[in-house]
Chains A and B, each alone.
Chain A
Amino acid sequence: MSSSEPRPETSPDSLASLYGHFQRLVDLPVEQARRELESLAVSDPDVAAELQPLLALDARIGDGEPLPATAHAAELLEHLGGPAVEPGRQLGIYRVEAEIGAGGMGRVYRAARNDGAFERLVAIKLIRRDLVSTQSMQRFAAERRILATLDHPGIVRLLDAGTLEDGAPFVVMELVRGEIITQHCDTLGLDLRARMRLFRQVLDAVGHAHRRLIVHRDLKPENILVDETGQVRLLDFGIAKALDAEPGFSATATGERFFTPAFAAPEQLRGEPITIGCDIYALGLVLYELLSGLHPFEGGKPSNAEIERRILLQPPRELCRSLENSDYAGAQAHGFSTPNAWRRALRGDLDAIVQRALRKEVDARYGSASEFAADIDEWLGNRPLATRRSQRAYRMRKFVARNRAGVATALVAMLLLIGFTGVVLRQNSALAAERDRTAMERDRARQSVQILQDAFEAADPSRTGGAEVSARSVLEAARARLPATAQGNPQLALELARTIASVQIDLRLARDALETVSLADRIIARSPAQSTVRVEHELLRLRALLEAGDYEKTEKTIALAKRLARPEDAAALHLALGRLLSQRGQYRLGITELRLAVDAYAREPALQREWTKASWHLANALRLAGDHHEQLAVLEPLLERLQKELGPDHPHTLSTQLQRASALRALGFGHQALDEVRLATLATERIYGRQSTAASGARLSLGNLFTASGDYQAAAREYRLAIAAWPAAAGQDHPNHFRAHFNLAQVLGEDPQHFAEAERIYTELLPIGNRVLGPQHRTLYLLRYGHAYVLNRQRRFEEALAVLLPEGAEDPEAGWRAGAEKRFLEDLRVSAEGARCALQTTVGVPKVGSARSTTAATRDLCARATRLLQSAPAPAPVRG
């Protein structure tokens, strides 16, 4: 409010008279009210002038009662201020025939060109004199020439322009017989696809203008007509800009701006530079209305100021949410049988498209009409959208998809993180009967959703300024919130911790998972946990430990879990034990345990996901044991199940296919295997793109296949392709990226020409592996053995010894070395021999200190090597 000082006084009589006229006119039909106001303007101009704004305000205020006249009063009043011309009047070469419409800018007439050349009907728009300054008139004259270059079937042509004697400008346009796009769609009851196709036409037309650097600036349904042939026709292109106020001339001072507030972009309201982004935004609003029948910011009869506030500050409501109060009639007008079906159709892609166009920041919107159109084409073709990258929910799904694709193991549980929320919500509804528990459950569901959302917010690339959101950063952000959550709701915090740990395990972020598990330990320690929680917690810890390669602790945890276990935990324990034994090279025992797990899960239809995992591990153990026949026997039903459940293009299906191919290869069906893998690789590239974690993973598998067949050259090629295909956004620290490098180094290490490169890769990978996998990870040791192998082959034995026996404890590796023992001892022996640590090759005759090494460090290494070789669990085969 500007001032508390009184306004110029209304005379007493006129106030009473104003009241009388107000009551008389306020409920009249529009046309009648207009006529009454016009005649009042003649008989009592003062009262009429007072009354106009009151009626307009009344229309804006509303009060939920039916307001026949005032619903249109605002438009009516604007209309009243405009100039009028009588039918029959000649404007240049045009003869005015009849008034055909009126809007905020002025009146529109139908006119005929009658300069003798040919008869042609046109539309003449007479612009209110009070809305234009002299300067803007001059600018309009210049702009006209540019506007005249617009030649597109979707744009109504500007034919001519001029001014009346009093200076009021008019423009002459093609006369279009059409219907406002939204009305057109509703009248015909067009379904969403038809509406989208129409909107696609609008984008074509707008794009045409944008390429000529012409911005519409006042796009709204009223300016978009559909003619009898179904062609979209855009009105008033560029006119708003041509007429807009000069800098320094406050358009708001006149109470008018050359755009419709409800359709203005945030930057327009802020008075910032107008770009094509404005039109993109307005198109987003039009699309919103086409799809939902509603305006995102106009709910509840807001004032203009309120609309502006919402445009600037509020995110538009999701399309499907805006339909909460929709009815059957509305749904049927949009081609749906029920409001629910309508809502469902708007969820997801369509909402993503609209929201992208409606982003507050110009840069976040579609960069052009054609980019906008591309997404619509994808939608019309049922293909995934480019745009959904920018949406939070999409980021969530996308990161899951990406990481799922990137990890070679069967990560069926990847959806857990999202699934968790769903589970809580479902449990919630199942528990609806239990009144006392329901509120708590709902609260938990809400909180867990909130935590996940916050996590995604925190990991939002636009906030961190970093690359694309990585799964790891999201999980880290989610975990960071747990201690606070545990204060108020330890049970929820615990559930979330376990969910996060579980996903971390599946992403092979073993170290992160262990940290999360120990966070859960602390939560449990503070709040008494039921034994159910305890055993599930220990089973989770088992998975994390196995993934981290900490077999000693795995063993202890298995013992503990066994004491706590219920009958239904048997399968999980078999699985953990089987994995442990297999990792330690005790394949026979491991396979027995894994089979028990697979069989147990097979009896539980609800545990299909677990069955898949167990099968995968069983197949893997069989592979390690060299039993490829059995491996194939396990893989076949697994593959069948995955193809049925997840589809042939799912990453798990593809990776299982790759494993099956390598089994075939091992059995001597190489060509068949290779063809299969090639096909799988091509399928992966088609689905995920050549530059994707999935494509990279497929190349990695192909490389492994070549490695297995001894074709190191081909293998190296595939590994290089795998590295090249790795998208930068997925992060250089990803285990799979790491593996591709490692495998490349290994095959390069077989070729003397590439020793130097192999060595360089090993040296670079070690610190990365320490960071990514954790210092205890099995792969790190394999990496050192590989490095030592290359050094040995170059007869650099002392360096190899240093690599094999890093600084530190006597033998820090004994605990986990397990499966790779043989390899380690072989490499160690070669190095020790080469370095002349022991004089004899025979194990068991150490001559500590007799080495002829020159430095103390080498002497120390030799001593350790000799002791290790001496205490080797099994006699190592004598090298030939």
Chain B
Amino acid sequence: MPLDKSQNITELLGRWRKGDKAARSELVQEVYPVLQKIAAKQMRLHGSYGTLRATEVVNEAYLRLEDQDRVEWQNRAHFFAIAATVMRRVLVEHLRSRGRAKRGGGIRFIPPDQMTDEDHDLVGDPIDWLALDHALVELERRLPAVARIVEMRLFGGLSVEQMADASGSSPATIGRHWRFAKAWLAKQLDIEVNDVVE
């Protein structure tokens, strides 16, 4: 990554922290290729099921951008908040590119809060991530704050404290958002509730 790019990211971060909302989508654009590359490598590594471990991808991206490109994140939470959006995009685009013949597009996306996959059988993803994305789009239109929480939680693996830090909301508010989102999404997607939470 050229030097000006990492400077660009650092600068964008500064603008975003100061409240420049446009900076956020630019950050996503900058971070996207990094995550995309890592994700693609990981999917190759994990064989035919193409397991995609969000946590690994995001962490690796963080380290790469920080160590190799000397981007100054200052705060992990901020990066993860951005990375969550990027991760969602990486996943959705990957699934779309593979067509939707199979549920889950034939890959398993392991969300950040399900890091051990021993508990899950290996024959398919229990969650239809495209449908989830679709529902999130609707949620973003009407309850954007709630949608952001879902994104950060499911695609970025942020803790409540990190989400509070990154979004500027109180942990209590985040808890309420998350609780509503879980029930609403479970209904919207017909998800067996345990597949999403815990």
Chain A residues, Cβ within 8 Å of B187: 53-54, 57
Closest to A59 in B: B183
- Is the C-beta of A101 less than 8 angstroms from some C-beta in chain B? no
- Is the C-beta of B46 less than 8 angstroms from some C-beta in chain A? no
Q: Which B residues between 91 and 136 are near A, CB-CB below 8 angstroms?
A: 100, 103, 127-128, 130-131, 134-135
Asked if B127 and A63 make an inter-chain contact with CB atoms under 8 angstroms apart, the answer reads no
A 54-91 binary contact with B (CB < 8 Å = 1; else 0): 11011011010100000000000000000000000000
Asked if A306 and B180 make an inter-chain contact with CB atoms under 8 angstroms apart, the answer reads no
- Is the C-beta of B1 less than 8 angstroms from some C-beta in chain A? no
Q: How far is the CB of B21 from chain A (nearest CB, A)?
A: 21
Closest to A305 in B: B192
CA gap between A114 and B119 in the complex, in Å: 60
A 4-19 binary contact with B (CB < 8 Å = 1; else 0): 1111011010011011
Known: A53-B187, A58-B179, A305-B192. A15 touches B128 (CB 8 A): no
Asked if B134 and A4 make an inter-chain contact with CB atoms under 8 angstroms apart, the answer reads yes
Which of B47-55, B70-78, B140-148 forms contacts with chain A?
Answer: B140-148
- Which of B127, B135, B184, B194 sits near A6, CB closer than 8 Å? B135
Known: A58-B179, A63-B179. A4 touches B186 (CB 8 A): no
Chain A residues, Cβ within 8 Å of B143: 15-16, 19
CA gap between A18 and B143 in the complex, in Å: 11
Known: A12-B141, A61-B183. A7 touches B192 (CB 8 A): no
CA gap between A1 and B184 in the complex, in Å: 14
Asked if B193 and A61 make an inter-chain contact with CB atoms under 8 angstroms apart, the answer reads yes
- Is the C-beta of A254 less than 8 angstroms from some C-beta in chain B? no
Asked if A1 and B191 make an inter-chain contact with CB atoms under 8 angstroms apart, the answer reads yes
Chain B residues, Cβ within 8 Å of A302: 194
Number of interface residues of A (CB under 8 A): 30
CA gap between A698 and B185 in the complex, in Å: 72
Asked if A58 and B182 make an inter-chain contact with CB atoms under 8 angstroms apart, the answer reads yes
- Is the C-beta of A196 less than 8 angstroms from some C-beta in chain B? no
Asked if B134 and A55 make an inter-chain contact with CB atoms under 8 angstroms apart, the answer reads no
Q: How far is the CB of B111 from chain A (nearest CB, A)?
A: 15
Known: A6-B138, A303-B194. A1 touches B131 (CB 8 A): yes
Chain B residues, Cβ within 8 Å of A6: 134-135, 138
| B: contact size bracket | 20 to 34
Q: How far is the CB of A794 from chain B (nearest CB, A)?
A: 73
Chain B residues, Cβ within 8 Å of A23: 176, 180
- Which of A9, A16, A22, A303 sits near B192, CB closer than 8 Å? A303
- Is the C-beta of B43 less than 8 angstroms from some C-beta in chain A? no
Q: How far is the CB of A54 from chain B (nearest CB, A)?
A: 4
Asked if B128 and A57 make an inter-chain contact with CB atoms under 8 angstroms apart, the answer reads no
Chain B residues, Cβ within 8 Å of A2: 190
Q: Which B residues between 157 and 186 are near A, CB-CB below 8 angstroms?
A: 175-176, 179-180, 182-184, 186
- Is the C-beta of B188 less than 8 angstroms from some C-beta in chain A? yes
- Is the C-beta of B23 less than 8 angstroms from some C-beta in chain A? no
CA gap between A3 and B134 in the complex, in Å: 11
- Is the C-beta of A226 less than 8 angstroms from some C-beta in chain B? no
Known: A16-B142, A19-B146. A1 touches B127 (CB 8 A): yes
Q: How far is the CB of B131 from chain A (nearest CB, A)?
A: 3
CA gap between A22 and B183 in the complex, in Å: 10
Closest to A4 in B: B131
Closest to A60 in B: B193
Asked if B193 and A19 make an inter-chain contact with CB atoms under 8 angstroms apart, the answer reads no
Asked if B184 and A303 make an inter-chain contact with CB atoms under 8 angstroms apart, the answer reads no
Asked if B130 and A4 make an inter-chain contact with CB atoms under 8 angstroms apart, the answer reads yes
CA gap between A53 and B183 in the complex, in Å: 8
- Which of B139, B190, B198 sits near A1, CB closer than 8 Å? B190
Closest to B137 in A: A6
Asked if A61 and B186 make an inter-chain contact with CB atoms under 8 angstroms apart, the answer reads yes
Chain B residues, Cβ within 8 Å of A265: none
- Is the C-beta of A26 less than 8 angstroms from some C-beta in chain B? yes
Asked if A15 and B142 make an inter-chain contact with CB atoms under 8 angstroms apart, the answer reads yes
Q: Which A residues between 1 and 54 are near B, CB-CB below 8 angstroms?
A: 1-7, 9-10, 12, 15-16, 18-19, 22-23, 26, 53-54
- Which of B128, B175, B176, B197 sits near A61, CB closer than 8 Å? B197
Chain B residues, Cβ within 8 Å of A19: 143, 146, 180
Q: How far is the CB of A565 from chain B (nearest CB, A)?
A: 51
Q: How far is the CB of B121 from chain A (nearest CB, A)?
A: 11
Chain B residues, Cβ within 8 Å of A54: 180, 183-184, 187
CA gap between A561 and B180 in the complex, in Å: 77
Chain A residues, Cβ within 8 Å of B191: 1
Q: How far is the CB of B192 from chain A (nearest CB, A)?
A: 5
- Which of A7, A305, A306 sits near B188, CB closer than 8 Å? A7
Q: How far is the CB of B30 from chain A (nearest CB, A)?
A: 30
Closest to A304 in B: B192
Chain B residues, Cβ within 8 Å of A306: 192, 194
Chain A residues, Cβ within 8 Å of B40: none
- Is the C-beta of B189 less than 8 angstroms from some C-beta in chain A? yes
Q: How far is the CB of A310 from chain B (nearest CB, A)?
A: 11
CA gap between A119 and B51 in the complex, in Å: 71
CA gap between A57 and B192 in the complex, in Å: 10
Chain A residues, Cβ within 8 Å of B189: 1
Asked if B131 and A63 make an inter-chain contact with CB atoms under 8 angstroms apart, the answer reads no
CA gap between A7 and B191 in the complex, in Å: 13
Chain B residues, Cβ within 8 Å of A16: 142-143
Q: How far is the CB of B157 from chain A (nearest CB, A)?
A: 16
CA gap between A303 and B195 in the complex, in Å: 10
Asked if B179 and A26 make an inter-chain contact with CB atoms under 8 angstroms apart, the answer reads yes
Asked if B197 and A57 make an inter-chain contact with CB atoms under 8 angstroms apart, the answer reads no
Q: How far is the CB of B105 from chain A (nearest CB, A)?
A: 10
Most buried by A among B128, B134, B143, B179: B179
CA gap between A15 and B194 in the complex, in Å: 24
Chain B residues, Cβ within 8 Å of A60: 193
CA gap between A65 and B103 in the complex, in Å: 33
CA gap between A303 and B139 in the complex, in Å: 24
CA gap between A485 and B192 in the complex, in Å: 42
Chain B residues, Cβ within 8 Å of A63: 179, 182, 197-198
Chain A residues, Cβ within 8 Å of B182: 57-58, 61, 63
CA gap between A65 and B171 in the complex, in Å: 14
Q: Which 10 A-B pairs have the closest CB atoms?
A: A4-B131, A57-B183, A54-B183, A58-B183, A15-B142, A61-B193, A305-B192, A12-B142, A303-B193, A4-B128
Chain A to chain B contacts (Cβ below 8 Å), 10 pairs: A1-B103, A1-B131, A1-B191, A3-B190, A6-B134, A26-B179, A54-B180, A63-B179, A63-B182, A63-B197
Excluding A3-B190, A4-B130, 7 further A-B contacts by CB distance (< 8 Å) are: A1-B127, A1-B128, A4-B100, A12-B141, A15-B143, A63-B182, A303-B192
Binding site for B on A (CB under 8 A): 1-7, 9-10, 12, 15-16, 18-19, 22-23, 26, 53-55, 57-58, 60-61, 63, 65, 302-303, 305-306
Binding site for A on B (CB under 8 A): 100, 103, 127-128, 130-131, 134-135, 138-139, 141-143, 146, 175-176, 179-180, 182-184, 186-194, 196-198
